[in-house]
Amino acid sequence: MRSSAGQQPLKVAVAGLGTVGGGVVKLLQANAEALALRTGRGIAITAVSDRFRRDRGFSVDGYAWYDDAVAMTQQADADVVVELIGGAEGAARQVCEAAIARGRHVVTANKALIAHHGTALAAAAEGAGVVLAYEAAVAGAIPIIKALREGLVGNRRTRVFGILNGTCNYILTQMRESGREFETVLAEAQALGYAEADPGFDVDGIDAAHKLAILATVAFGCTLEFGALHIEGIRHVSPVDIAFAEELGYRIKLLGIASLTDGGVERRVHPCMLRRGAPVAHVEGVFNAVVAEGDFADRIVQEGRGAGERPTASAVVADIADIACGRHAPTFGIPVERLQALPALPMSRHRGCYYVRLMLLDQPGVLADVTAILRDDAVSMEAVLQRARAPGEAVPVVMTTHEAEEASMVQALRRIGELPSSVEPPRMIRIEPF
């Protein structure tokens, strides 16, 4: 059937009918008329692939069925292949490579694949004259790739940062509201389906790091270098830290931060303390938020659901609609061959303010020992909080610092941790002035 514009419908093959793949099929079925009106042509699913045949709550009648996603990519009648299998290797990578080799556009929600193999895939797509689209790979329904690549095209982008993992944001929100420990809230998140049985990908910062690597490349036109990121998760954040943060006027969030400086690109994922009035400090639960800064636009803030069937499907279909309309841009905003190999700034050179929590025996001269170490390592204290306990007992000592270099801060905490009076490893959270 031809569209009102006289064009053949855009033919789509969907590889992977899990949560997101099912959402894409349901969206394309439910909103077919609106999409045809908005794009000027129909969008028709012609083939689907999954390892298991079962009732998923939507019809696949009329679609060619394949058990093998790579075989579908090579054989099905399709203009676009949608890869929703997941993972950086295996079938997901093979599907994308096979689709591009056959001159078919690729749409994916696979942040790990793009973070690790995006450069090679983008070069192949550009060589084949097809689109590699991945809006859904970063921050779910938030159109941050389009904003950076198109909306801010006239700007020199200087920084992009945000809450990029809803699981971590949910856990930190619940810990703050309930005072419960990390492990307890993690178990709840797993029971609710917000965290996987093996949660390391989320809580250790890897998922957010994949997304940040992509954002940095699109924002700054630098080469895609996942190995250049500094990555920390949230396992070490305690209710004690969250309570002290509240007392000091801060919220703790896991952030991904990429900055373009005169010395190169800084890319880091770790827990941060933000003033409660900061642009993303109020974002709670499973929501994501991304902030982009440019020389003419100043600052834009986008907030929305970062994962799940419907938000991610919405972003996937937005990419399909762009292809239907003939809208396209280079994968990372500029041709792959023009991406710049900018220096990666090591975390040791980062400068900032810090929150530090020590657990020290309440003995004479202990605080003097701590301040002497900080002085020797060029770290200046801004404020100190101490809770009184019986002499000789362990007491939490919390301090904030003036701006210091990361290497000096790390060295000072190592030396403090070696003091006989230190009963726990010192904890450090970076304070960000956003």
Q: Minimal CA–CA distance to 159: which of 319, 300, 36?
A: 300
CATH class for domain 10-137? alpha beta
Q: Which tokens sit at 385? A: 């909080």
For the segment 359-392, what is each residue's pLDDT rounded down to a tens digit?
Answer: 999 888 898 999 999 999 999 999 998 876 656 6
Same fold, 153-304 and 348-432: no
In the chain, pLDDT over 70 holds for what percent of residues? 97
For the segment 65-100, what is each residue's pLDDT rounded down to a tens digit?
Answer: 999 999 999 999 999 999 999 999 999 999 999 999
pLDDT at 2 over 50: no
For the segment 385-417, what is each residue's pLDDT rounded down to a tens digit?
Answer: 887 665 667 888 999 999 999 999 999 999 999
Alpha-carbon span 139 to 117, nearest angstrom: 19
111, 146, 211, 253: which one is catalytic? Answer: 211
For the segment 138-147, what is each residue's pLDDT rounded down to a tens digit?
Answer: 998 999 999 9
Alpha-carbon span 170 to 96, nearest angstrom: 32
Q: What pLDDT is recorded for position 6?
A: 58
Alpha-carbon span 87 to 194, nearest angstrom: 18
Q: Which CATH number applies to 348-432?
A: 3.30.70.260
Is 211 annotated in the active site? yes
User: Domain-by-domain residue ranges, the chain?
Assistant: 10-137, 153-304, 348-432
- Mean pLDDT score, 299-304: 95
Alpha-carbon span 101 to 79, nearest angstrom: 13
Report the DSSP pairing between strands 264-275 and 394-401.
Answer: unpaired
Binned at pLDDT 50, 70 and 90, residue 32 comes out as: very high
For the segment 308-333, what is each residue's pLDDT rounded down to a tens digit?
Answer: 899 999 999 999 999 999 998 899 99
Q: Please tell me the pTM assigned to this model.
A: 0.93
Average pLDDT of the chain, as a whole number:
93
The CATH H-level superfamily of 153-304 is: Dihydrodipicolinate Reductase; domain 2 (3.30.360.10)
